Structure 1
Amino acid sequence: MLPVSALVDQGLQGCGKDQLAHLNGKPFVALADYRLPGQLRVLYPDQAVTRDLMPDRLNAQVNGSGLILKLFCG
């Protein structure tokens, strides 16, 4: 993990899902190394979620072990 002072603008587009696709299968805490353009929402198994749409919000669907299964905007 990088120190906060080492974070730079990675130029993520939209919510960043395309540029962060390499994190699929990794622990969701790896997202802390990136400056996201919007909010992050972590979706755990069987968790209730709202249906509001926020195009710049990155959603990380994770399994019970906290590994990223899917990244998507919304």
Structure 2
Amino acid sequence: MFKLAMIPLLALTLVACQEEEQEDDAAEETCGAAALQELVGTDVAERPDLEPDTDLRIIEPGMAVTMDYRADRLNIEVDEAGQVTKVYCG
């Protein structure tokens, strides 16, 4: 009988350990990455308005970057040819 009573308790414990995905969606909107997904596949050199600063990083292949997460910072990854491959917050 005791084992049957423990099943709901264990189920509640597992539910409490789930990650919330809503935070990622909110973070994406904080830096504006969702609105800039059309940059993927374009040449970053053709966008002079995209100047790296504290809120924008243009990450080239092999480039060293900090691992700190900032929801308000926009990251733009480019390939060797300067084509945008990924746009995300962090």
* TM-score, normalised by the number of residues in structure 2: 0.58
Given the alignment, which residue of 55, 75, 78 partners 1:39?
55
1:9-48 residue pairs with structure 2 within 5 A?
A: 13-29=29-45, 30=47, 32=49, 39-48=55-64
- Mapped to 1, the partners of 2:83 and 2:32 lie a distance apart of 18
* TM-score, normalised by the number of residues in structure 1: 0.69
- Runs of 5+ consecutive residues of structure 1 not aligned to the other structure: 1-12
- Greater share of residues in helix: 2
Cα RMSD, aligned residues only:
1.8
Corresponding residue of 1:8: none
Equivalenced residues, count: 58
- Runs of 5+ consecutive residues of structure 2 not aligned to the other structure: 1-28
Corresponding residue of 2:6: none
Percent identity between matched residues is 36
Question: Post-superposition shift, 1:31?
Answer: 6.6
Task: Indicate the structure whose relative CO is greater, using CA pairs within 8 Å and at least 6 residues apart.
Answer: 1
- Mapped to 1, the partners of 2:31 and 2:39 lie a distance apart of 14
Give structure 1 regions of 4+ aligned residues with deviation exceeding 2 angstroms: none
